[in-house]
Amino acid sequence: MQNIIDMSENKVNIRSASSESINDWILKKGHKSFRYKQIHEWLWRKNVSSFESMQNLGKKLINDLDDSFFIDHITLNDQQISNDKTIKCAFSVGETQVVEGVLIPTKSRSTACISSQVGCSLACKFCATGRLKMLRNLSPGEIVDQVYLLNELSIKHEKRSLSNIVYMGMGEPLLNYKNVLKSTEIICSKDGLGISPKRITVSTAGIAKMITKLGDDEVKFNLALSLHAANDQKRNEIMAINESNNLKDLKKSLQYFHQKTGSRVTFEYIIFDNFNDTPQDAYELASFAKCVPCKINIIEYNPIDDGILRQADVQKVNEFARILEDKNLIVNIRRSRGKDIDAACGQLANKNKTAVFRTEQMKKKSVK
């Protein structure tokens, strides 16, 4: 959005506008500057979906806002509850598109797994979302709305607010860099949810130049790298992004990120049967992981119907972890949640191959 709004153009998405441009607009329309703080609070702390809900602004300002802006609010259209109490949600974004988010409760915490894009362009072989076309980036407001809606579900079902947020849903967060960073700022702000950035993790498939940019911006949230293989040949097989962002480049960017932020990096490693589960694979991972202070999450594979990759044997997973631990690395073995409703890692959109299909199903329900 430009600093000066051209009133002849279509309405502007107010939650994607800069604070400077909104402040300029307020003054140009003859309203007092303190109105910005009120509008900001309604948008982000109270998460309203219409200007009419902003009860303390006065009719003139509400009408002016409605003439110039719109609020890109998303809605919860469908939810499924797993046997382990994981909840997968289908969120309607715009008129024809859908993204999914997941609430993952445990005894001590409630984690929201949220999406950053409609679809994905990376086509990783182990991920159902990668089979969808990349349609568009989500706006900051659409990302934040997922957090608000999942927080409401956590309060309803778990009697507590969210404790953690992970950008591990649909899409590659670092290919929607500006909007993702703005969304984290809002989530952490006292005018938003007030969640500590140390309780937020942004996961990337590995865009080296954007990891470097995270370092330049000295972000406060946690960074996770979806690694899944610690040699270029194997990683190329399952993650095409590695061909333009190889391990050498990633290593350099991670070291820079740590130097600038002081943050420990998490390496995510989905372990596949007879592909990346050997002792040699573990030694390669240990060698690569030594490049920065880190922890390693070994994640069991969740099948996505094609049978190309399979879940590794439990004994091999345990031996793999033991080798890493013998190298003095911090290792966690992550068991999947929500597998029965296709809400586990890599399964989002597994049962609906396109967002359009899901939208059409919801339209049919509304007609009934």
What amino acid positions are annotated as catalytic residues?
100, 345
Q: What CA–CA distance (Å, rounded) separates 128 from 126?
A: 7
| DSSP H or E segment with residue 316 | helix 314-326
Q: Reading across the β-sheet that carries 294-300, which strands appear in turn?
A: 75-81, 87-93, 97-105, 110-113, 164-167, 200-204, 222-226, 265-271, 294-300, 330-334
Q: What CA–CA distance (Å, rounded) separates 152 from 162?
A: 9
Q: What CA–CA distance (Å, rounded) separates 92 from 149?
A: 12
Beta-carbon contacts of residue 219 (< 8 Å; ≥ 6 apart): 181, 184, 197, 202, 261
Report the DSSP beta bridge partners of residue 142.
Answer: none
Q: What CA–CA distance (Å, rounded) separates 170 from 122?
A: 11
Q: What CA–CA distance (Å, rounded) separates 331 from 321?
A: 7
Beta-carbon contacts of residue 338 (< 8 Å; ≥ 6 apart): 82, 84, 86, 87, 88, 102, 104, 344, 347
What DSSP designation does 341 have? G
What DSSP designation does 6 have? -
- Nearest CA to 240 among 91, 140, 126? 126
Q: What CA–CA distance (Å, rounded) separates 230 from 289?
A: 9
| DSSP H or E segment with residue 299 | strand 294-300
Q: What CA–CA distance (Å, rounded) separates 193 from 46?
A: 10
Decide the pairing of beta strands 294-300 and 97-105.
Answer: unpaired
Four-point Cα dihedral 258, 185, 95, 67, nearest 10: -150
